[in-house]
Structures are given as C-alpha cells and as structure tokens.
Amino acid sequence: MADENPNEKMKIEDLPGVGPTTAKKLKEAGYTDLLSLAVANPDSLAVEVEIGEGTARKIVNIARSKLNMNFMSGTDLLEKQKTIGYITTGSKALDSLLGGGIETQSITEAFGQFGSSKTQLAIQLSVNVQLPKEKGGLDGDVIFIDTENTFRPMRVMQMAQAVGLDPNEALKRIKVGRAYSSDHQILLTEKIPEIVEKEKLNLKLIVVDSLISLFRAEYVGRGTLADRQQKINKLLHRLQRLADRYNAAVFVTNQVMAKPDMFFGDPTAPVGGHVVGHTATYRIYLRKSKGNKRIARLIDSPHLPDGEVIFKITEEGIRDVDEN
C-alpha cells in the first residue's frame, strides 16, 4: 500500500515564501490547504489572490513538490481508487448499472428531456448521501447549485422521511446556492472551499442542476460558441478538482437538443458538445416511459458496459420497478 504523505497535513503558511499576508489572501480566496494550491492554475491564482504571476507559479510548484504530484505506479493508483465511495440512487437496478451507485472522485452527467426525472435523481442523491455507509450513503453533506429554480425543500423532507432520516436535519445538511447567471454559477463553484471551511462540512456530493442552461441562454449564436465552451470547460475542471480534493461525487444535469439531420435512431443529444462529453466520467441518458416509470441508459463509462434499466418515481422517491 502507498505510504501516506506526511506533508498532506502541512498548513499553507508553512510553505517556503508564503508569509502571513499571502496566507491570509490565499485562505480568503478559498485556498485553504496544499491540495487546493497544488491543483490550481497559476495564472488564475495570481488574479484571484492579487499576487504576481511568478509568485503564484512558485507557490503552486512548491505545493506540488510537497505532495509528490508526479507519476505513480499502477499499484499505488489502485490503492488510491480504494478510497472511492458510492451513493445509492434508491434503485438497485440503477446502482448496478452504475457499478454500485454514483461514484466519488468523478463527474456523473444525467441528461434528458423535461420530465425525465433529472432533478428527482439529484434531490434523491442529496438525501441518500446523508445515510450511513451500510445503507448506501457516505454520511456526507451536500452543496446544491440550482440554476433553474428546481430545488424543492418539501421534496427533500418527503424523501428523507422515507429513508428514515430526520427531514429538518436532512435539509440543514444541504447548502443551496441559487445561480442567476453563468458568471454567478462559476462564482458559486469557486466559493465551495470557503463554505466547506466555514461550515465545517463533510462534503461528499456537489450537485449542479442544470449545468448548461444559463450558458445556453446567455451565449447565443456561433460567434459566442468558443467563449462559452471555454468557460464550461474551466467550470467542469474546477468541479473535477473539487471531487478529487474532498473525495466527493459531482452530479450534474444537462438539457438536450434535437438533431434534425438524424434520420435513424433517437435524435436527442445532450448540449455542451465535446467539452462536456470528454470531461464527464459517466453519462446517463434518462427518458420517460409509461406512467411513473423512467428508463436510464448508461452511454459512457471508463470501465462499465453500456446498458439500460427501468426504475420508477414514487412519493417516497426513486425506487425499483416491482417484479410483477
């Protein structure tokens, strides 16, 4: 097993060249530990903390050297992946499709048309992550970034009661940020480390519902596409760094568009292009079926086969379809 790095618990003010003033600026900007500095972009760090680019690059390089962020053996990587946790969806069939549930240290994207239960799944995960490990949770807290005004406290309480959690306590463990523009959405994401530190959260799930809607509304026309995709790309990579930093799961919902040039098969495709497709670790396509039934299809995974399952939406939340 890979040895634990003793420098992981080192404070940022202990880094060579980081004085009390710089350390204070770093913490105010959300850089509260070595890992957050090690995975930072030096140019962005310089702007956020208002220090020189050379100083920012030096700080980042020192943090990386302390954490030994170089190549590792396949055996060491295997040990690291043993720390991955899973959050149950409430449906054993859907959990099985995903290899055990929604995975930490990864981004899972669920896309589908209106009414395909993307938000229902997001809220269910926000409840289930609070369960103890033996019941499919991680005893963790949630940050929920709401871009479409879809978060409903009463639905949280309803689902929480159904799984044996105190409804009011379940609500308290979900920190909701309502985003009103794409820049505000990015800002809320940047503020996550600050919230975790201030509230002393055991962050295990970050939800963004939905990922693209504000960008899609604000960046109209081909002339704005490059700028839009660049911002989405930076946002997704920031979310991935947060997933690694806190060993948390990132669950994002996405809208769809119709492909008029598609003559055979399903013309529905997720928005966001290759940027989202390449960054998301798992991609799930949700669609309606008869009544309260929904179909989930896994269309992209680094190690799982494509597959399809049926689950249902009930008053208590997401559940398996009865065998009969």
Q: Write down the pLDDT at residue 36.
A: 81
User: pLDDT for 182-193, tens place per residue?
Assistant: 999 999 999 998
Residue 1 confidence class, pLDDT cut points 50, 70, 90 = very low
Domain residue limits, the chain: 6-66, 83-320
Query: For residue 259, what pLDDT is reported?
Result: 63
pLDDT of residue 267: 60
Query: Rounded mean pLDDT of 1-12?
Result: 58
pLDDT of residue 65 exceeding 90, the answer is no
**47: three-class secondary structure by DSSP:** helix
Q: How confident is the model at residue 8 (pLDDT cuts 50, 70, 90)?
A: low
Distance CA 177, CA 192 (A): 10
Q: What is the DSSP letter of 307?
A: E
Confidence of residue 82 (pLDDT cuts 50, 70, 90): confident
Distance CA 299, CA 304 (A): 9
Matching fold, domains 6-66 and 83-320? no
Superfamily classification of domain 83-320: P-loop containing nucleotide triphosphate hydrolases (3.40.50.300)
pLDDT at residue 226 greater than cutoff 80: yes
pLDDT of residue 146: 98
8 or 201, higher pLDDT = 201
Q: Residues 134-154, buried b or exposed e (16+ Cβ, 10 A)?
A: eebbbebbbbbbbbeebbeee
> Considering the chain, what is the average pLDDT of its residues?
89
- Residue 281's pLDDT is what? 93
CATH topology classification for 6-66: DNA polymerase; domain 1 (1.10.150)
CA-based nearest residue to 276, from 241, 234, 315: 234
Mean pLDDT of 221-250: 91
For residue 318, is pLDDT > 90?
yes
Q: In the structure, what pLDDT confidence band is assigned to residue 2 with cuts at 50, 70 and 90?
A: very low
Residue 66, pLDDT > 90, answer: no
Determine how β-strand 141-146 pairs with β-strand 293-300. Answer: unpaired
| Amino acid of residue 280 | A
| Angstrom distance (rounded) from CA 235 to CA 179 | 14
Residue 158 has what pLDDT? 98
Q: What are the pLDDT digits (tens) for 157-168?
A: 999 999 999 999
Whether the predicted pLDDT of 88 surpasses 90: yes
Per residue in 105-160, pLDDT tens? 999 999 999 899 999 999 999 999 999 999 999 999 999 999 999 999 999 999 99
Residue count of the chain, please give it.
324
Give me the pLDDT at residue 324, please.
47
* 240-283 confidence digits (pLDDT tens): 989 988 999 999 999 887 665 555 556 677 877 778 888 899 99
